Chain A
Amino acid sequence: MKFLVCISNVPDTTTKIAFTPDNKEFNKAGVQFVINPWDEYALTRAIELKEAAGSGTVTVLNVGEADTEPNIRKALAIGADDAIRVNAAPKDAFFVAQQIAAIAKEGAYDVILMGKESIDYNGFQVHGMVGELLGIPTVAPAMKLDLSGNTATLEREIEGGKEVIRVNTPFVASCQQPMCEPRIPNMRGIMTARTKPLKVVPATTDTPRTQVAEYALPPKKQGVKLIPAESAGDLIKLLRNEAKVI
């Protein structure tokens, strides 16, 4: 089995979000970037499935500029075999999907795993686009993934429940908990990651379909109105008469 795991490079979950003065770009100054948390499920599950089969390869793929390499190396340290970076600023989801689809086709990958969504742009769309570009099924978001020969059994979360889906390779799945316990790099992994192959390839030239015109922060809250615990019931009256939400 050839696994392709797509990882996105995102601001750490504790980041206070700020923008450049013209509000046109995310302000990266002082921000720590991490592997998108959902993508860690994809990566760990791919490694687990490869280990269980006793054969196969796990390739990580990122569409990004050189500053994403520390996190690509981290994915190699966690246990991926090799990596590809498509050298381009990820202009929009469709652009990213086109790059991933091109790599997936060229490398004839059997299982293409992603995260449920990026925690920065919250698109929930690259996986569907890649599936459609390749003409193969996408299962999003998957909570469980097992492989038996060329057949995968997945559990997909839907609002209010889950579906069990069987698909044959090749397919795309986007992963979320409780699929596995994401692994963290160990010392040996960090050492071997340094020498694992990381190939940098140019982007295919394609025009994005969306463009961010401006960012904005949510309006500030007015401040909390405290109700003494002794008269907790008053809160309910405020929710009905003042906030009008019950």
Chain B
Amino acid sequence: MKTEASNTYSRRFFIKSSSAFTTLAFIPNSVKSFFYQVKEKFFVKKQKIPLSVSINNKEYRLDVDTRTTLLDLLRENIGLTGTKKGCDHGQCGACTVHIDGERRLSCLTLTAMIPGKEITTIEGLAKDGKLHPMQEAFIENDGFQCGYCTPGQIMSAVACVQEGHTGSTEEIKEFMSGNLCRCAAYNGITRAIQKVAP
């Protein structure tokens, strides 16, 4: 293991310099390469910050790499592998969790953004050893095949019902389209939500 450089730059400095990056696109190449050299020298690649976060009603106090997404925090750091990585780019919905009760993509959420927020993952959905009605409905309606997209589908489905987007089959299908299922268990997913919807 390499020893890590200490964090000597303020957040303000970080914001300023990252906006400097965004202007890079308009700068000629020679200047760009100069800037990259400067970047190599001055930017600390790896910083750890202390964070306390609440996941499934449990408090975690962690030293987190600032580059770590909520998804990787869950999967690689605290052993909650129920949340899945399908793309890491916000394109598939496999990583859907609830942040303060709303469905969010954990691959597009940096861990540094979540202190003070309540995170719920698939592991936190069942209460007191009893499955959530949506979990039951997915089982009964065979709303999956391989099961890899399933945690994301269920987290989205719970939110879909809460949001009131269950007026018709078409509406459910539309509001569940951010969650891809390559096995295409869409019949079962849709029916499971209909069974739970008011």
Specify whether A and B are partners. Answer: no
* Residues of A in contact with B (beta carbons under 8 Å apart): none
